[in-house]
Every structure is written in structure tokens, then in C-alpha cells.
Amino acid sequence: MKRKILAVLLATAVTASLAGCGSSATTGDTASTEAAATETAEAGTEAAAATGGDNSLTVWCWDPAFNMYAMEQAAEVYKQENPDFNLNVVETPWADIQTKLTTAATSGDLSTLPDIMLMQDNAFQKNVISYPDAFTDITGSGVDFTKFAEAKTAYSVVDGKNYGVPFDNGAVIACYRTDILEQAGYTIDDFTDITWSDYLEKGKDVLAKTGKPLLSCQAGESDVIMMMLQSAGASLFDAEGNPTLVDNAALKEVMATYQSLVEAGVLVEVNDWDQYVGTLNSETVAGTINGCWIMASIQTAADQSGKWAITDMPKLDNVDGATNYSNNGGSSWAVTSNCKNTDLAYDFLSKTFAGSTALYETILPSSGALATYLPAAESDVYSQPSEFFGGDTVFAKITEFAGKTPSNNTGVYYYEARDAVAVAITNIISGADIDTEIQTAQDTVNFAMGK
């Protein structure tokens, strides 16, 4: 009975996690989000202006069931030793945070910003570099950054300085239908700690014996490409922010590997997110590789409970520094330069998101907020088995993966580079030359950068 209850909790948890991690299903701006921008703008400004009490902070973040809930629970943890503490959490969609940050910074009036705001990891460096006056350097804040996965922390580091406290986990997992693998004579162990060449050959065998590809993804997207690239600690930019697509051995290996997977039928491309999820729920494919939040979509097919297992992703062949670990998604907390009481903000964050395993134990079951706070992996809550995923201790495993993930440099033009790479791989699949397409992609990024 306990195992059944845990399975229900896990399903609820990671369903909420999907919404919180910014997957392809949730990143698009909607009419409701635009309407919320108008409603929250005044509330956010009033809240920021109201903050200033000796023991009060205002926070902007999104998703009541995920990020906002986690912040509210953090306040409860902090109040145990600071009963007079007051936290004002203002619901602010990510698109609105980005818009209001840009408006405040470009106008030179930062007084509208809150004390703390949530920042998507892939946009963190871009915003700090573009609007340095809006952020507070928290390197000496008392937060112990060594207790977080190194790759996660790196998203909010600029010029060697820390600007964010890591939050949710986007560690990559490889998920497989164990019953389908069994039909082809394999187990989950056969897909653990393998290379992409191993994956390709076994994928061909599984396809031949079961008629099912191992992997699916959206055509015209670069998520799989970027996961592969980061798994080797490689980037599209150098330390100075210059594009390094050309003569990037890891990127060329990634492109060639992706092309081979598609040509062999081991990877099938679909048109949109709904079709992608449909391939998982309808048993069209034997697995997937994505951020750990994909577990939410997998578990919507309740009749498949016990038929799935997770392990690490394949690593690149012939690439120095290649690993079986990567990241896709996640966010971190930033202290703004408008913070009225930085000492309070530092103390609050260091004793909650950066110092309380109990907090992560509380928010995990009902929100799916998987930590990149490494001590949480030793918690009894994280070590509970998941009935849906074959009785495995998936939370602890994912936290371990996060700790082994290489960091990469996103830079200011990260999204422009991702888009250029997506166009390149689409053309390569259609028969274009890899080197030519990589050169074109770099030219596109250089043009966006004004070079």
C-alpha cells in the first residue's frame, strides 16, 4: 500500500515539475500569460515598493504549484528561527520577469524590481552580462556553492562571480520501456554507461526485433543536440563569448551522431510537443532522453506503471571529456540590486534553498522540485522507491546524475546559437554537408552579434 501511495505522489510531483522546468510544452507565451503581465505588473511594483521592512522580502516567480509553493515553504522553514520574517511572493510569469527586467534596466530605474527573482538558467548569464547593474554579486553571501552540482551553479556565474542560488534540477535521464527491451533480449543494464555508437547498434537491433525506435524528438529543435554537447562539457561559445561552432570537434561529432540515428531509424522526428509525448504514451518508441521533468509526461500513461526504468544517457565517441551526464532545463534565484536588505536575503537563501535538506524533503512529494542541492540526495525521501519506474530510487539517482554533469558556457547569444544549430541539423538530415552547415550557423550567430 505504501508503494502505491508513493507512486501516486511521484506522479503528482513530476507532473508539476514539468510545468516548472520550462519544457517545450510550457515555454510558449499564451494569451493568459500576456493578460497576467498586465495584472502582475502593478502588483509587482507595489510589492517591490512596499518591501523595505527590517525583516521582509519580496520575491517574483511563477507557477503556484511549483516555484511559488517552494518559496512559500522556504519561508516557513526560515520562520522557525525567525518568526517575524515576512515573505511576499508575487506570481510573475517568466516572460513578464524578462520583460520587466529589461524595461527597468534600459530605463535606468531599477526601483520596480523585487528583492529576489527567479531566473531561467539558460537566460541567467545573458541577463547579468546585459544588465549588470540589476544584479547583486552573492559570491560572499554565505551560500556554500560547493554543495550544489557544479554544472548547475555555472549557469549563474559570470566572470568568476556567483549571481544565483541554484534551484530545480534539469538533469538528463534516459528512460526505457523495459518490457520492449526484454523482447529484444536486453535489460536496462545493457543501456547503462554506454556510448552513442553502442546505443546506435543496440537501437538497430531493438528496431529490427520490435519495430520500435529507441528515441523520438521534435524536428527543427536542438534539445538533443545541446544535451549531447553539454555531456562532453562542450559549448557553442568560448570563455569570452565568441561563437566556436566551426572547428568544434564535439559539435561535429554530435551532428554526425544525430544524423546516423535518424538515418538508421533509431531516432524518429515528429512535428510538435504533443506528438512527441504521444510517442511515449502510445508505445510508439522504446524510450526517450530528456530532462528529468519528462517523467511527468511518461507517467500520464498509468497503465505503463512498472514498465519503465531510467539510467544515464550515452556518451559521445571520440571526444575528450565525454561523460554520460547532461542537463536540460532549470532555474535559479537571483538577488536584485534593488534588494532593500541584502543581509536578510543572503541569510534566507543560505538557510533554505542552500542549506535545508528538510525544505527539499517537504516540497518534493507535492511539487516535484528535485534538488541540485547535493546533500538532499542522502535524504530518506529521495531514497524512496518508485513503483512506476520499476521500484528504483529515481530521485536519488537523478540527484547523483546532476552532480556529475559537466558545465557549459551559455553566454549572451545562446538562444540565437541554438536556433542556428537547429536549422543546420535540419539541413544536414536533408543531405547537406555538415561542415558547410556548421559554417553557415556560425555566420548566422556572428551576424546576430553584429560581427
Helix (H) or strand (E) holding 88: strand 86-91
Q: Where are the beta strands (DSSP E) in 155-266?
A: 157-158, 161-162, 164-166, 172-177, 215-218
Say how many residues make up the chain: 451
The dihedrals phi and psi of 86, each to the nearest 5 degrees, come to: -130, 130
Compute the distance between CA of residue 295 and CA of residue 288 in angstroms, rounded to an integer: 10
Compute the distance between CA of residue 342 and CA of residue 143 in angstroms, rounded to an integer: 13
Determine the pLDDT at residue 29. Answer: 37
DSSP 133-186: GGB---TTSS--GGGB-HHHHHTTEETTEE-EEE-B--BEEEEEEHHHHHHTT-
Burial 90-104 (b: 16+ CB within 10 A, else e): bbbbbbbbbebbeeb
Compute the distance between CA of residue 436 and CA of residue 12 in angstroms, rounded to an integer: 46
Compute the distance between CA of residue 181 and CA of residue 205 in angstroms, rounded to an integer: 10
Domains and CATH numbers, the chain: 2-170+328-392 (3.40.190.10), 172-326+413-448 (3.40.190.10)
Instruction: Give the side-chain half-sphere CA count within 13 A for 201.
Output: 5
Compute the distance between CA of residue 415 and CA of residue 123 in angstroms, rounded to an integer: 9
Contact 397, 318 (CB under 8 A): no
Write the pLDDT tens digit of every residue in 73-112: 999 999 999 999 999 999 999 999 999 999 999 999 999 9
Model pTM?
Answer: 0.79
C-alpha cell recorded at residue 34: 500576456
List of the chain residues with pLDDT < 70: 1-53
Instruction: Give the side-chain half-sphere CA count within 13 A for 48.
Output: 26
C-alpha cell recorded at residue 184: 529484444
